[in-house]
Structure 1
Amino acid sequence: MRITVYLTGGIADYKAVEVIRKLEKENHEVRVVMTKNAEHFVTSHTLAALTKYPVLDDLWKRENESSIPHVHLARWTQLALVVPASADFIAKVANGIADDAATTTLLATGAPKLVVPAMNDQMWDNPATQRNIAQLKQDGIQIMEPVVGMLAEGYSAKGRMPEVDDIVNWVNQQIVSDKALSGKKVIVTAGGTIEAIDPVRYIGNRSSGKMGIAIAEAFSNAGADVSLIYGNISISLPKNPNINLIHVESSEDMLQAVKENFKDGDVLVMAAAVADWRMEKVSDHKLKKHQDTNSLDLHLVKTKDILKEVSQGKQENQLVIGFAAETNDLIENATKKLQKKGADYIVANDVSKNVFGNDQDQVTILKKEGEKENWPRMSKIKIANKLVEMIKSIL
């Protein structure tokens, strides 16, 4: 698993180095983010040598001027581990403060987050710290509480960071507990389809594939066997050995790939933007622009409705989730789509507001029973994780 480890300022940083080493020994891929206070205890050179990757500790270094390193790392991350977590860092995260490389990167991360606090017992027991810990838990962040032991101040009390083996075992348990969909076969579609006009031109759409790819990775993190059927995309494909990549171009290609792979599948998520129209006849040569012609008429016919065909032929134990990308009358149009196509759920999103290619979205979940859930605006990665959690509870 791709784990980003965050080190904050505290004497327990020396133990965090061993946590990183053991995570790597268990074949996890680890990268590191540090606060400036952490560098008073452990150098970034030590951690870069250990992970064979540069440590992110400053957003304003010259080498970072032409990139957005915190966003790239946040998107790379499958699990975020803060060890040790100081009272100051916990307070910032609980209140959404992003004033350095570490807090900014963590705020941009949609992956599950684990926090291992370590501090003086009086700081741990302070009502402000306990309020902040409660807020982290409410936000879905897992906490491994400090233990009773010898503190840096020279006495025994609660506040000491747990031992390295205990932390690594806890991390692995969290990963295993997230594998609730192990043994399930999930098919996800992503990106836009291409409908040829001639050998050069095609009809397409603005879909980037971000949402579908995020959903595929979230299912894989939950232990599912994932097949990602993707069309035209504008972002990198996931480098995940547990995701089977299947490339298609046209809506007809996607229909055949979905039918073939969903035969023995458990869940289908149709996040792709499938073309509604195609050429009745594709030209076998490039259509030329002639000086005496000021217009071009293309005769288009409807494409097959993949969501409807698959939903009508699905088994009782199979689950189908469709997407409704609308520019107006969102709920009304999405409700009609749910009723007509026979899917179990529809994820409705308004694409008139800079959604294509964006990292953020706001969706509404429509259920076959007539219920609906309005989710707040959040990152597509968080939407993907939330969707997988919903499907876990259904299955």
Structure 2
Amino acid sequence: MVGAVQFGVLAACIVLFVPMILAGWHLSRNKMLFFSGALFITLAVGVHLTPYFPSITNIISSLSSTVVLDNRTSCLSFLHEIVWDVKPIKGGSLDSLNFEKSWSWSKSTPVITCGFQKLGRKDASDLLNGSWIVVAGDSQARLVVVSLLNLVLDPVEMESIQGDLFKRHSNYATVIEEIGVKLDFIWAPYTENLTTYLMQLKHDRRYPDVLVMGSGLWHMLHVTDSLDYGLSLRSVKKSLLSFASIYSEYETAGSATGSFSVRSPHMFWLGMPVLINSMLNTEEKREKMNEVIQASYEKKLYESKLLRQSGGPLVLLDIKLLSRNCGAKCTVDGMHYDTAVYEAAIHVMFNALLIESQQRL
């Protein structure tokens, strides 16, 4: 239907402007009237017949959808083009806690065209309204949860949950009644924990609206075997695809019966940060979490084809790129970074959600 309307608008423009151009070429009045009349009749008949020729309508629709898809894919690839402004706080010492960190998207033409936005509390709440969000992983994932809650809760509310939120090696769950958001943090330091949780979701037929997962640091420190890590990532992918297939069946059944409405889950992989070896706080970490080993782990991640850019289902939240660009002044231990880094990751996720759902705030 939309394709036919667009075709009609194009036809009207041709009927209006082509005779004017021909008149500029000094054709006789009779010839111009004859040509415009014939053109009008031909295009009018074409517009009315287009809906009855599915192939034409499908071609128009497919071209339109291809443009939308290309724009979405293109904008997703520019989401991490973020620049940092890190400067010392006046009168403070030169450790990471005494630097002011701020960030913004670059001013490159593609980024400006995509129109990425930093969302305030109201817009973030509107975007997440009624959603179930699950973040599963290690301490990096917990810091992402902290940044997310910082954006949707006021300071008093945030202070009241600090004790529960920062309990080490434990799950955390909360419901933000005002916007109907359910948020679960699942302590899952190993990829095997992620697989177990995905299978649990599949078994329970429970499907979060937003799923953020990530692991690797614990495996690197306590197992130190990138080959084993790669195999475990393949298990995560298998479980994830199985989970997604059950969801699709659930969605199809619901659509057929009209008994309920469901939304496709948005899924993200939380990448590992830059590890600054000289700042790591134990000899074991400095030995086992060096640059070469981290590179081998990242290679296995891309080989697993979990990520969207390698044909997988997960959009990458590239903490490595964000932390590298922020630099050593944004971390106290070479592993856990300043709140600003995870805040930037949350805004990357928010804008990915806007792109994926084709929304504008």
- TM-score category (smaller protein): 0.3 to 0.5
Give the strand-richer structure, 1 or 2.
1
| TM-score, scaled relative to structure 1 | 0.33
Larger radius of gyration: 2
Q: Quick check: which one's helix share is greater?
A: 2
Q: TM-score, normalization: structure 2?
A: 0.36
